Structure 1
Amino acid sequence: MTRNLIALACIATLALAACSREPAGLSTDTAANEAPAEATQPAAVDVIPTGEGPASTFDQREFAGSFAGTLPCADCPGMDVTLVLEPDGTYRTTHVYQERPDGTWSIDGHWSVESNDSVIRLDPNSKTEEDQLYGIESRERIVMLDADGKKPDSGLDHGLTRQGAQ
């Protein structure tokens, strides 16, 4: 019984010691070896919430811009796509089927970012059009995704590249 009390007292002493503060000398030495807190924190940015929670750091206004490219087409040489993401969260896409006289149409709506700031969702104003997803590869390039948020495995390029100076 005495052994149990001694063991319990030792455990309690260790637990209390682990909860105590660092001595002033140690925290000063440690602080001298670390970078100042403001140097390790990212700069404050103007963030538009993306619906992914309060910790999101995606700056929708900064990312906004015009992207263009030629996407694969099943029954034509290709489809020229221009996607303009506006800073206010609206977008407009223009699709032009190559070698088709009446093959141009546009879609507009709202865009948001989801999946840990790695996917752009285009939500069209028209209820007959489906949402489109684009994966963010970099600030300069986005890639069309399928409805499940995956890159097509066709081996063809489904990417759009940022146009003009931002």
Structure 2
Amino acid sequence: METKKLLKAAAGAMIVAFAISACQTKKTATGQNADPAHNSMNSVDWAGTYQGTLPCADCPGIRYTITLKDDDTYVLKTRYLEKGDSVFTESGTFAWDENGGKITLADRGEKFQVGENKLFHLDMEGNRITGSLAEHYVLTKMTDQITDRYWKLIEVGGQAVADGSTQKEPYIQLNSEGNRVEATGGCNGMGGTYELKEPNRISFSQLIGTLMACENMEVENGLKRALESADSYHVQGDTLQLFRARMAPLAKFVAKGK
């Protein structure tokens, strides 16, 4: 009898231990006990631009381009396919949830789960969308990004641009907010607007600049001609090239921190 009692007690203890272990596993899986030091907010390189086409009730889709910045602000551009070329631009702030895995766009109330190089558009309750359309609610990070980067000029008109050969470092930067371009060819500052279209089409307009005279104006004049003539581009990693009618590159740039 004593042996039976001991066996029953041992069995009971094992059941309790198993239940506790299962409960802890479930909590971890659902994020209730997630390690706050290793969530998306702290462990994922989430800042950048994401793009995708979300389902639309009365059109083929809504083209989403959203840029998340390190200061918890965003710029969102949306375009309704087959309803003209109008692009609607909004900006604002976003907030992380307490687990550091999801964000909510202020004012819009839209929620996204932040993954490695992906944003998952969530329903209004903050849940992942499932079913046959699930894959259409995913935005992918643009690793070959052309906007909001500082592009140092290294070649124009087929001629290399040596460091220190101009008074200032020649560069261009395409700012996503307002589609404004800022640049210098090494002497004068230039500004204007740009437009991007798929696939890899680009155009610059309303280019104006200061009128100072410097040495080696060939670089600046060449960059201005390149911007005025360019109709396409190719970007791969940290290298950008501007083209006209798929001929030899008008100008080459490398990405650099400002």
TM-score, L = length of structure 1: 0.56
Q: What residue identity is the alignment partner of 2:112?
A: Y
The counterpart of 1:64, out of the listed 16, 39, 47, is: 47
Q: Contact between 2:51 and 2:65, CA under 8 Å: does it hold in 1?
A: yes
- Aligned in 2, Cα 1:97/1:135: closer, same or farther, shift over 3 Å? same
Residue in structure 2 matched with residue 93 of structure 1 by the alignment:
76
Q: Distance in 2 between matches of 1:154 and 1:95?
A: 24
Note the alpha carbon deviations across 1:103-150, whole angstroms, 9 max, x for none: 5312211012214122111113xxxxx3110012x2211111111001
Q: Which moved more, 1:55-64 or 1:99-108?
A: 55-64
Residue in structure 2 matched with residue 79 of structure 1 by the alignment:
62
Provide runs of 4+ in structure 1 moved above 6 Å. none
How many residue pairs match? The answer is 106
Q: Distance in 2 between matches of 1:94 and 1:139?
A: 21
Residue in structure 1 matched with residue 138 of structure 2 by the alignment:
159
Q: Contact between 2:49 and 2:68, CA under 8 Å: does it hold in 1?
A: yes
Residue in structure 2 matched with residue 149 of structure 1 by the alignment:
126
Residue in structure 2 matched with residue 121 of structure 1 by the alignment:
104
Give 1:77 deviation, angstroms: 0.8
The counterpart of 1:112, out of the listed 69, 77, 95, is: 95
Give 1:56 deviation, angstroms: 5.1
Residue in structure 2 matched with residue 139 of structure 1 by the alignment:
116
Note the alpha carbon deviations across 1:144-166, whole angstroms, 9 max, x for none: 11110012345212010000259
CA RMSD, aligned part only? 2.4
For structure 2, the 5+ residue unaligned runs are 1-35, 145-236, 238-258
Give 1:60 deviation, angstroms: 8.7
- Aligned in 2, Cα 1:108/1:131: closer, same or farther, shift over 3 Å? same
